[in-house]
Chains A and B, each alone.
Chain A
Amino acid sequence: MNVATEPVLAVQGLTTGFDTARGRLVAVNDLSFSLARGETLAIVGESGCGKSVAALSIMRLLETPPALILGGTIRFAGRDLAQADEATMSGLRGAKLSMIFQEPMTALNPSMKVGLQIAEPLMRHRGLTREAALARAVEMLDLVRIPEAARRAEDYPHRMSGGMRQRVMIAMALACEPDLLIADEPTTALDVTIQAQVLEILRALQARMGAAVILITHDLGVVAEVADRVVVMYAGHKVEEADVASLFARPRHPYTHGLMRSVPRVNAPGRASGGRVRLPEIAGIVPALDQRPPGCPFVPRCPLASARCAEMPPLAEHSPGHWAACWHSDAVGQAAGAGHA
């Protein structure tokens, strides 16, 4: 593999668990994926699917104990982050590896001016002087389209709206031009017009800096707008992976298919159009961590489940780059192709 095609991040067999009173619970199970420079990978799934635990495992931000990485490798910047010590990680975080969260106030210091907060990683990791770092912070605020950036740099976070704070966090995360940005539900708490602005800013900055982005979201609309490739997780497992067009055109896992069918669409007529337009449901709920069935975890909710599903299906490649873990994935493809589309 030459340098140009070497992935920025290669996760192989990542397994993360928690030690609890009920024993060891596995939240992320044998997860593998990789990410090229400039690429946006969306990790999709509902509450409890393991997407945030996977992200926090890569960042090594899970508290140990109770959390621990039980297996697998996380290759990044010539190292295995699964084995890295805290000193190594703090040298990487905010420099080559950044993360933004749903709620910016969890990442912002309420008692520090936002300009200085953006400048801090530049002083620490890049060795910039305070003056140079502050000047760069104003540039970053300008890049995330905060009006009157120089004046705003002097503000404290509570003086700003939710959308502006989110942009400050993006400015802070990207100040050192990281190779990888992990964005965990970055626009979920925002109003829809502000969400559109923030996604546009993220996209523009990514194009400019060439960072790889992992976007963690439950919103298939956001996925369709920004992702190049998608990993679908269910109950700790990767159940499907494909490029975004292929996934939406023909999902190969019944969970992905169910998710796509059940999401209400702003561009599809509702019941006011006459008749009873019903949203197709996925029966049941995501099983709790300690109640996961052996074999395929989707069995209790799956319309295609059969005796064979008691054995965990391996990920199989259906078309180049389109993988799914389902014994019946051809039937899913058929149903999707003939169905709503």
Chain B
Amino acid sequence: MATPVLEVRDLAKHFNLAREGLSAGRRTVRAVDGVSFAIAAGETLGLVGESGCGKSTVGRMIMRLIDPSAGTVTLDGTDVTKLSRARMRAFRPRLQMIFQDPYASLNPRMTAAAIVGEPLLVHGVARGAELRERVAALFARVGLRPDQMALYPNQFSGGQRQRLSIARALALGPRLIVADEPVSALDVSIQAQVVNLLADLQDEHGLAYLFIAHDLAVVRTISHRVAVMYLGRIVELAPTEDLFNAPRHPYTQALLSAVPVPDPSRRGAKRVLPQGELPSPIAPPPGCHFHPRCPHAVERCRSEVPALRTLADGRAAACHLLD
């Protein structure tokens, strides 16, 4: 890979929990535990996993909405985890975030034009007539009409609100966009519009995307590579088509097998569903976190944490059975 836009190395986030009772020691949740990956310009890395796997926490650490407990986040060669607040401010234009619920992330008392123009104004990029012009161009690019500039967020549909947050994220010409479940609150027909828009914008601007989602079909559609997380760790990282056509890690296999396919002729196809519940991230199983639900687990899996290793085919997986 050419010099990546983003490189994340050994990223970790540990939360301390309150003591339970007098004798109990302090307990720590390892929400993210040693996560590493890189994303190149023009590339989408899909980050998938079920509730509590830590995927959103990874996104928030990259944005520095929360500080990592360990590890580095390198953007265009600079480790942003070490930057002061003032220097971080200078980096902000390069990384932007899109959230699941555009309702919660857009100020309801600002007009659409003010929302999209705010980053340009705050960073002193444009004002007055030039600001209005640039906002109008952003509106046009994301498929909103000029007459919608004076409206408030509650006057937009869910899909239009997501277009609005995309326009705002684009305003400062970012290098990286962290998109956390950007289409999961949208209806299917609207989802397709927003996914296509994100893909077009990436092709036009060479944007790097970290696309965080639980919907594997959407992730397959938009991602070039995919990382699968389970209880704080990446268990598999591979080019999209390799991962979906022949998943290597037993958890990835189970996850893909559980997705319902909109094709009734495939009904009754054999499934390898993981057994039991997702364990609590507060007390994950020792060794490989997946071992209690894994159909192939052996003794070693119960005690020894498997490292994420590059396999012979160039993909990476964390499983003792793939050694």
Closest residue on chain A to residue B53 by CB atoms: A191
**Of B225, B239, B265, most A-chain CB atoms within 10 Å:** B265
B187 touches A164 (CB 8 A): no
Q: Does A47 contact B (CB under 8 A)?
A: yes
- Tell me the smallest distance from the CB of A296 to a CB of chain B, in Å: 16
Q: Does B78 contact A (CB under 8 A)?
A: no
Question: B residues within 8 A CB of A267?
Answer: 244, 261, 263
The 8 closest A-B pairs by CB, nearest first: A221-B260, A282-B189, A279-B192, A272-B240, A46-B187, A191-B50, A264-B217, A220-B262
Q: Does B201 contact A (CB under 8 A)?
A: no
B277 touches A161 (CB 8 A): yes
- Tell me the smallest distance from the CB of A290 to a CB of chain B, in Å: 14
Which positions in A face B, CB cutoff 8 Å? 46-47, 147, 161-164, 191-197, 199-200, 218-225, 227, 244-245, 248, 258-260, 262-273, 276-282, 285-286
A191 touches B241 (CB 8 A): no
Q: How far is the CA of A265 from the CA of B256 in the complex (A)?
A: 11
Q: How far is the CA of A220 from the CA of B262 in the complex (A)?
A: 5
B225 touches A272 (CB 8 A): yes
B240 touches A193 (CB 8 A): no
Known pairs A46-B188, A270-B240; A192 contacts B223 (CB<8 A): no
A264 touches B220 (CB 8 A): yes
A47 touches B258 (CB 8 A): no
Known pairs A270-B240, A272-B239; A46 contacts B189 (CB<8 A): yes
B187 touches A218 (CB 8 A): yes
Question: B residues within 8 A CB of A197?
Answer: 273
Question: B residues within 8 A CB of A227?
Answer: 264
B262 touches A263 (CB 8 A): yes
- Tell me the smallest distance from the CB of A257 to a CB of chain B, in Å: 11
Known pairs A222-B260, A272-B239, A281-B193; A263 contacts B217 (CB<8 A): yes
Question: B residues within 8 A CB of A218?
Answer: 187-188
Q: Which of B50, B157, B255, B260 contacts A285 (CB 8 A)?
A: B157
Q: Does B306 contact A (CB under 8 A)?
A: no
**Cβ contacts B153-195/A at 8 Å (1 or 0 each):** 0000111100000000000000000000000000111111101
A163 touches B224 (CB 8 A): no
Q: Does B64 contact A (CB under 8 A)?
A: no
- Tell me the smallest distance from the CB of B55 to a CB of chain A, in Å: 12
A225 touches B260 (CB 8 A): yes
- Tell me the smallest distance from the CB of B224 to a CB of chain A, in Å: 5
Q: Does B271 contact A (CB under 8 A)?
A: yes
Closest residue on chain B to residue A225 by CB atoms: B260
Q: How far is the CA of A248 from the CA of B267 in the complex (A)?
A: 12
A-B contact pairs, 27 of them (CB 8 A): A46-B188, A147-B276, A162-B51, A193-B273, A196-B257, A196-B273, A220-B262, A221-B261, A248-B262, A259-B189, A263-B192, A264-B192, A264-B217, A266-B220, A266-B256, A266-B259, A266-B261, A267-B261, A270-B221, A271-B199, A272-B241, A277-B221, A278-B196, A278-B199, A279-B195, A281-B189, A282-B192
- Tell me the smallest distance from the CB of B193 to a CB of chain A, in Å: 5
Question: A residues within 8 A CB of B133?
Answer: none
- Tell me the smallest distance from the CB of B47 to a CB of chain A, in Å: 15
Closest residue on chain B to residue A282 by CB atoms: B189
Q: Does B304 contact A (CB under 8 A)?
A: no
Question: A residues within 8 A CB of B223?
Answer: 270, 272
Known pairs A266-B220, A270-B220, A270-B223; A221 contacts B189 (CB<8 A): no
A271 touches B277 (CB 8 A): no
- Tell me the smallest distance from the CB of B38 to a CB of chain A, in Å: 16
Q: Does B12 contact A (CB under 8 A)?
A: no
- Tell me the smallest distance from the CB of A301 to a CB of chain B, in Å: 8
Question: B residues within 8 A CB of A262?
Answer: 188-189, 191-192
A224 touches B263 (CB 8 A): yes
B241 touches A273 (CB 8 A): yes
Closest residue on chain A to residue B278 by CB atoms: A191
Question: A residues within 8 A CB of B266?
Answer: 224
Q: Does B93 contact A (CB under 8 A)?
A: no
Closest residue on chain B to residue A280 by CB atoms: B192
**Cβ contacts B201-224/A at 8 Å (1 or 0 each):** 001000000000011111011111
A268 touches B189 (CB 8 A): no
**Of A199, A227, A268, most B-chain CB atoms within 10 Å:** A268
Q: How far is the CA of A224 from the CA of B265 in the complex (A)?
A: 8
A248-B264, A264-B195, A266-B220 known; 15 other A-B pairs, CB under 8 Å?
A191-B50, A196-B257, A220-B188, A221-B217, A221-B260, A221-B261, A224-B261, A225-B261, A262-B188, A263-B262, A266-B216, A269-B241, A279-B192, A279-B221, A285-B160
Question: A residues within 8 A CB of B193?
Answer: 281
Question: A residues within 8 A CB of B255?
Answer: 192-193
Q: Which of B157, B214, B215, B224 contacts A264 (CB 8 A)?
A: B215
Q: Does B254 contact A (CB under 8 A)?
A: yes
- Tell me the smallest distance from the CB of A254 to a CB of chain B, in Å: 12
